[in-house]
Chains A and B, each alone.
Chain A
Amino acid sequence: MKLLTTNFLKCSVQSCDTSNDNFPLSYSAQSTLARDESIEFNAAFLLKILDRVDWPAVVTVAGELGNSGLPATKPVLSSGDVAQLGDDELALLRDLHVLLVQTTLVEGEMKCRNCGHTYYIKNGIPNLLLPPHLA
């Protein structure tokens, strides 16, 4: 599972929807990470991803998984046109590509901050099915 996907997953328990703690899920520091270099960097695409993601959730999840180097607020780039961006800005987009697109969780646990239910990632696939008594 790509780190990017953590930005779109919440706890499956319906009653957690009324809390503000069902997103992002909390990821275990013991999770096994891998890097999938097969997806090529595309600066224009990364700009759109940056625009789209919930940045505080990216910072939280990356921090839990051992990357605490992200700025607390979402980086604002000088232009929406890739050709106008400086080298530092392109380097930032490249770093985000590695973090969000190439970094995958292979094995791991993710826990709801509200109800505490733990979900598992196995062989790269997140499983958010609930046991019958919670569904």
Chain B
Amino acid sequence: MLPTPYVKYDFDKVYEPSEDSFLLLDSLETDQAYLNERFAELFPVVCELGPGSGIVTTFMMQNELPAAHALYLAVDINPWAIEATLDTAKRNNCDKKLIEPIQSSLTASLRNKQVDVLLFNPPYVPAEEIPDIPETRDDTDTWLDLALVGGKDGMKITQVVLDQLDDTLSPQGVAYILFCARNKPEEIVDQMKSYWNIELIQRRKAGWEVLSVYRFSRK
């Protein structure tokens, strides 16, 4: 069992690590050998979208995933998440790794076809609408909402990332994306499977939700 990062931050400002975060960590642990082997000879670029507390990116650095040396881009729109990610990295002695927090929206500012490992625990909760990006740092309620709500079927944000996956991933790139049952992941897999290899890595019941993590790679 790989160690889990220690996280201590104000969870009124960023999403507190929960069942979904831990399922993503477990998925990465499941795929440890796969990732180590796939990226052994490269300088891998890892990119986490919406790191929140930074627990997932720190877990990757702490456990040398996918390799001992990599560039870790942690992209979040929430300024508090940028701060929390740096804080969590530091608390777990990972601040000497190549970690780069970037304030940006999803993959908009990433050069095409460069990401080797994409990680995304999205805002997946179905909701009527998604709030606008707050104008101030202090509107913490809205920042937190943005970490949770995903519009229709909870898929509005995830769909943006899936639509851009071909532009985002490097030729050898893989993406780990988390879904809840209400996102209808089986339907998404059906739609995408002629272009992508898609593997279910973990599925778990969490309270009244069923969460799953799928791995996407090029055919």
User: Residues of A with Cβ closer than 8 Å to B?
Assistant: 1-2, 4-5, 7-12, 14, 17, 23, 38-40, 42, 45, 48-49, 51-52, 101, 125-130, 132, 135
Contacts of A101 on B, CB cut-off 8 Å? 98
Given known A45-B43, A52-B43, contact A128–B108 (CB-CB < 8 A): yes
Query: How many chain B residues have a CB neighbour from A under 8 Å?
Result: 28
Choose from A11, A49, A132 the contact partner of B109 (Cβ within 8 Å).
A11
Contacts of B69 on A, CB cut-off 8 Å? 42, 45, 48
Chain A binding surface, main DSSP class: mixed
A12 to B73 CA separation, bound complex (whole angstroms): 16
* B73 to chain A: closest residue by CB: A8
**Interface digits, B89-124 against A, CB 8 Å rule (1 contact, 0 not)?**
000000111101111110011111010000000000
Answer whether residue B177 sits at the interface, using C-beta atoms and an 8 A cutoff. Answer: no
B43 touches A9 (CB 8 A): no
Answer whether residue B55 sits at the interface, using C-beta atoms and an 8 A cutoff. Answer: no
Given known A125-B101, A125-B103, contact A9–B109 (CB-CB < 8 A): yes
Given contacts A127-B104, A128-B105, 17 further A-B contacts (CB under 8 A): A1-B102, A2-B98, A8-B110, A9-B110, A11-B109, A39-B98, A45-B69, A48-B43, A48-B69, A51-B43, A125-B101, A125-B102, A125-B103, A128-B103, A129-B105, A132-B132, A135-B105
Contacts of B96 on A, CB cut-off 8 Å? 38-40
Contacts of A40 on B, CB cut-off 8 Å? 96
B98 touches A4 (CB 8 A): yes
Answer whether residue B157 sits at the interface, using C-beta atoms and an 8 A cutoff. Answer: no
Choose from B100, B103, B112, B132 the contact partner of A5 (Cβ within 8 Å).
B100
User: Residues of B with Cβ closer than 8 Å to A?
Assistant: 41-43, 45, 69, 71, 73, 77, 82, 95-98, 100-105, 108-112, 114, 132-133, 167
Contacts of A130 on B, CB cut-off 8 Å? 105, 108
Contacts of B97 on A, CB cut-off 8 Å? 39
A7 to B114 CA separation, bound complex (whole angstroms): 10
Q: How far is the CB of A114 from chain B (nearest CB, A)?
A: 14
Q: How far is the CB of A39 from chain B (nearest CB, A)?
A: 6
A39 to B45 CA separation, bound complex (whole angstroms): 17
Contacts of A14 on B, CB cut-off 8 Å? 108
A64 to B133 CA separation, bound complex (whole angstroms): 33
Contacts of B101 on A, CB cut-off 8 Å? 125
Contacts of B108 on A, CB cut-off 8 Å? 12, 14, 128, 130
* A122 to chain B: closest residue by CB: B103
Given known A45-B69, A52-B43, contact A10–B104 (CB-CB < 8 A): no
Contacts of A9 on B, CB cut-off 8 Å? 102, 109-111
Q: How far is the CB of B61 from chain A (nearest CB, A)?
A: 12
Contacts of A5 on B, CB cut-off 8 Å? 71, 73, 100, 102
